[in-house]
Structure 1
Amino acid sequence: MIALAAIALGMVALYAYGRYRVSRAERRYPPTGEFVVAEGLRLHYRSRGEGRPIVYLHGGVLTGDDFKEAIELAAAEGYRGIAFDRPGYGYSERPRNGKVTPNAQARLLRKALIELGVDKPILVCHSWSGVLALAYALEYPDELSGIVGLGGGFYPEGYPAEKGDPVSSLITTPVIGALALHTLLPVLGPPLADSILKQTFKPESVPESYRLATRALWLRPSAFKANREDVLAFVPAAREMADRYREIRTPLVLAVGEDDPFETREHSFRLHREVPGSDLLVLPGVGHMIPQLHPEAVMLAIKRLDGQAANASRELPPAVIRSIGASEPSR
């Protein structure tokens, strides 16, 4: 009985510590944008500038703030940059019932853009959101001006959770998952986050400000669970859509770091071969985290897509881009 009481007391203490960490994180990193309602959910976004709309979709770790510098560059170039926190991340709400698949997120995004009066945007997607952007292009082919993929994930083969993910499976298990989220995550989460970030950013360095923000916002139970649900949703969604990628006629520019540590690096090369007329930019010395570390490359890819810089590669030192090429039209 004494042992059980001690365990129960320990669990209560860990739960209380977790609640304290969430409260402290949200005080330190409050919402900095605005909200739009889609299907009864409040979605948080940041908007800068006026002009042709560019919508930025972050990957699987943090928030729309991943594109903070990129949207400022876009605004300076005469665009309107809009960066969303995807459902469940940052300060965007996530549906409580049902699986929030890439297709479901595409539907939510479309309704949010309609509510905001945004017409035919360019979608800029990073990492996990590659499959979300392609879901949007397949479902609503006439409603986009183009897609820019940044180290995007598009296929089940080579995805880190291709053969399952034990952490994600644990976290999404009823009761046990909730217990782990509210008691173990506050203690085990920080070193886990540091390790994941180190692997994700290599061979480049993790900015200290990004590391601290990740510890604060990504390790909230709701955000971490959303991330693990997305990890498990990626492979079945990509497997279902991959055979249709050749149907895509939305203008497409793919940028990938030559030193990207993930096997998904090959996804950009494969998609470039499969989508007629797509462009591929290979960035020497660049890893996976292009939006966070190389916002100027994001802008270059957008301008390449937008046709505003036929000689865009001349605007940056030769080392920045190794190759740019258009895929051959299908016969």
Structure 2
Amino acid sequence: MEVVLGIAAVVFLLYICSDIAVRRAEKKYPPSGSFVEVDGIRLHYQDEGEGRPVVLLHGGVLWGGDFKEVMTLAAKQGYRALAFDRPGYGYSERLPSRNMSPRDQARLLHGALRKLGIERPIVVAHSWSGVLALTYALDYPEDVSGLVTVGGGMYRDNYPAADGDGLSRLVTMPILGSLLLHTLLVPFAYLASRSMMLATFTPERVPEAYGRAVRALWFRPGQFRANREDVLQFAPACDEISSRYGEVAAPVVIAAGEADPFPTLVHSTWLHRDLPHSRLILYPGVGHMIPQLHPELVMESIQALTEMESQEMASGDESGFGS
């Protein structure tokens, strides 16, 4: 009996410590944008600039703030940049009782943009959100003017967790998963965050401020669970739509770093194969975390998209279709 009580006391203490750590993190990194509610779910987004709308979708690590410097550059170049925290990340809600596949996230994004009066944006997607952006373009073809994938993941093949992984299955289990997330996750974060960040940013540096934000926010129970659910959702989503990528009619720019340690370089070349009208841009010496380290390259990719559009319009005019 004493052993049971001792274990219960340790679990309770870990739970309290975890809760305190989460509250401190959120106090240090409060929401800095606005909220829009769609289907009972509040989505947090940041909005900067005026002009042609560009919607920025982050990957599986942190939040819409990943695009902070991209937004500043975009606003200076005459765009209206909107960066959303995807459901469960940053300060966007994610209800445990609701499925949040890429298709579900695309539906929420579409509803949010309609509420905000955003018409036919350029959608820019980093990492995991590659499949999300393509899903959006296939489900709402009239509501997107172009796509830019930056180190995007788009296919099951070569995806490291294509068949799921033990950690994701464990933390998404009912009851046990929640217990682990609310007791052991914070200590685990301090042990694992540095190696995880080094692997994600290699061969480039990890910005010190970004590393601190990851330790504070990514290992919150709700956000970590959202990330692991996304990991499990990725391959099934690719199975569902990758055979339809050729149907994407909007112009597409596919950008990737040649030094990316993840299979997104392979995925990018495959997507270029499946989308003959796309443009593939490979950046030498650049790794995976392009929005964080190379915001100017994101803007170069957006500019490449606008150049594609201009060329297509000119071609249409010459052949009589532009009148």
Which category of TM-score, normalised to the shorter sequence, fits these structures?
Answer: over 0.9
Question: Are 1:185 and 2:190 matched, yes or no?
Answer: no
In the TM superposition, what is the alpha-carbon distance from 1:249 to its structure 2 partner? 1.1
What secondary structure sits across from 1:125 in the alignment?
strand
Instruction: Measure how far apart 1:246 and its partner are.
Output: 1.0
Deviations 1:19-76 (A, max 9, x none): 0000000000000001111111111000110000000000001000000000100000
> In the aligned structure 2, how far is the partner of 1:307 from the partner of 1:16?
54
Q: Is the 8 A contact 1:256 1:288 kept in 2?
A: yes
Change (3 A) 1:145 1:310: closer
**1:214 — aligned with what?**
214
Contact 1:257 1:283 in 2 (8 A): yes
Q: Secondary structure at the match of 1:183?
A: coil
How much does 1:83 deviate? 0.3
Aligned to 1:19: 19
- Aligned residue in 2 for 1:62: 62
Summarize deviations over 1:268-324 as a string: whole Å, max 9, x none. 00000110210011000100000000000000000110128989xxxxxxxxxxxxx
The answer as to whether partners of 1:41 and 1:94 remain within 8 angstroms in 2 is yes
Write the distance in 1 (CA, Å) between the matches of 2:108 and 2:187.
Answer: 34
Deviations 1:187-237 (A, max 9, x none): 112222222211110000111111110011111100000000000000000
The one-letter amino acid paired with 2:174 is P
Confirm whether residue 236 of structure 1 aligns to residue 236 of structure 2.
Answer: yes
Aligned equivalents of 1:8, 1:96: Cα separation in 2? 26
**Compared CA separation, residues 309 and 299, structure 1 to 2 (3 A):** farther
1:145-294 → structure 2 map (5 Å cutoff): 145-294=145-294
What 5-or-longer segments of structure 2 have no aligned partner? 312-323
Query: 8 Å contact 2:47–2:80 — kept in the other structure?
Result: yes
From the superposition, tell whether residues 185 and 24 of structure 1 become closer, same or farther in structure 2 (CA, over 3 Å).
same
In structure 1, how many angstroms separate the alpha carbons of the residues matched to 2:181 and 2:35? 27
CA distance in 2, matches of 1:227, 1:270: 25
**How many pairs were matched up?**
311
Q: 1:316 is matched with which residue?
A: none
**RMSD between superposed Cα atoms in Å:** 1.3
Q: Is the 8 A contact 1:128 1:152 kept in 2?
A: yes
Q: What CA deviation, in whole Å up to 9, does each residue of 1:158-200 have, x standing for no partner?
A: 1121122111000001011011101110111222222221111
Structure 1 SS opposite 2:59? coil
Normalising by structure 2, report the TM-score.
0.94
The corresponding residue for 1:113 is: 113
* Counterpart amino acid of residue 95 in structure 1: L
2:315 aligns to what?
A: none
Question: Do the aligned residues in 1 keep the contact of 2:148 with 2:305 (CA within 8 Å)?
Answer: yes
Name the SS for the 2:143 alignment partner.
coil
CA distance in 2: counterparts of 1:127 and 1:285, whole angstroms: 17
Distance in 2 (CA, whole Å) between partners of 1:20 and 1:305 is 45
Q: Name the counterpart of 2:317.
A: none
Note if contact 2:256-2:264 (Cα within 8 Å) is conserved in structure 1.
no
Question: Does the residue aligned with 2:53 lie in a helix, a strand or coil?
Answer: strand
Q: Which amino acid aligns with 1:278?
A: S
TM-score (norm 1): 0.92
SS in 2 for 1:154: coil
